[in-house]
Structure 1
Amino acid sequence: MVLALTLAMACLAVSTALARPSLEMRQRAQVISHCIVPGTAALTFDDGPYEYMYEITSMLRAHNVSATFFFNGENYGCIYSPENARRVKHAYDQGHQIASHTWSHADLTALSLDKISNEMQRVDKAIEKITGATPSFIRPPYGLYNEKVLRVAAARRQSIVLWDLDSGDSLNINISAQKSRYDQTLRRHPKTILALNHEVYPSTVHSVLPYAIKQLHSAGYRMVTVAECAGLSPYHSRSKPAHRDSSWHC
């Protein structure tokens, strides 16, 4: 009788543990919508890697500016292609922060837990293979997230990054209007700025970015990565990049 009762209690404990979400999956990821280090501005670029990478990094280097690139796995081309892998590695080697923008730029709020996890895991693995670093930040496409996204990101020990200044380049507003968004923000002179831009638009690269850098410098901001402006580590780990093999494909 005692043995039977003990076995029954053990089975109940196991079934309860299986039904209960893990501690990590019950936690919610930190959401970063602004910087916390006074006097900093973080320029961020979504949707790459793309062909304007070298122009962007050249401009950033000329002004001694660090930035953050949120990369997709397969959006504007495959991240594993030789050209795009070189762009990712170049940005990393230049000292810029590399982070996740998910694999396919899907609306994560419309996906199941498993599919959300897959969107995050696949691009993280690609970034790790190419650079050797495992990112600790993710920006959900369109800035959309829900409870499931927060739980999966927490389980992956990643912070979700939004913004407090949208340049508007993805909204197809004209160059003057994009510059005006920076001007309007700078007239308020907030303590910090976290700016959303996109790597894939020529107007951003050739017109808005140089203007933004000049205005932010003139206003006295120090342009840094998201990790720096949030006082956090950009990566969970860093090691040597992997050698290209048959797994490098989309």
Structure 2
Amino acid sequence: MTVRTDLPPALRRATELLAVRGIDPLVQDGYLDTLRQPPGSVADAEGTGIQAFWASKAGAGFYRFAQALVRAVLKGSRTPTEWLVLPSKGVILDVGSGLGHVTGVLADSAGGDVVVLGVDISAPMLARAARACTDSRVGFLLADAGRLPFDDGCVDGVVSTAVLQLVADRAAALAEMVRVLRPGGVLTVMIPSTKHGPAKLMSALPGGVHYFDDDELPGMFAAHGLTDVHVRRKGSFQWVRGAKNPAPGNAPVR
């Protein structure tokens, strides 16, 4: 494919990463559609249950309400940017970016030399996110978390907040995040870690929500070869951070 030169900087950078896999995205509503799906549709791999609900206009509206409620009530859900070990340059991937709130926070926290790409399966949410975000360092893509449309080791950091518990194949999604992360890069995931306390509010969401045991996600990180794994618990939420083993001769991320 030919890299688009008529796009904002972040989306142009995204097309460069897609080019290595020969994906020719459709540009619509301010985001790149790597699945070339009609607005409101959902990828086959995520086409049932809660993923299909989030892809609908009703789901996008409900998500906006639920996200505002969670941010207001659950302090543990707020992004601890000082703890994430964000890269100072390159590309950060926000997997399951929804309405783009965390995507914008990551861009503000990482600095001017970083591009942040939000990836989500919901076209309505991406359209809202693209309209709301005016930062040229931020771009959004319609893509499947279980089949990220990027080459191996091409992004400098990956963050995913309150998404993995909604994905049917959590191991596959985590494996994709690790695959696209460059050696030495850091992956950070936030999930609800208990069925007790304020996180029970999430049980009202349509479809199934997986609540992680305290050791489950750190164990998945280790199983996928991530090292220097750190866990931070905030209220009913758990943040887990790990580094991908660097290439020989490169120092590990601290």
Does TM, scored on the shorter chain, surpass 0.5? no
Query: Greater strand share, 1 or 2?
Result: 2
Indicate the structure with greater helix content.
1
| TM-score, structure 1 as length reference | 0.30
Which of 1 and 2 has greater Rg? 1
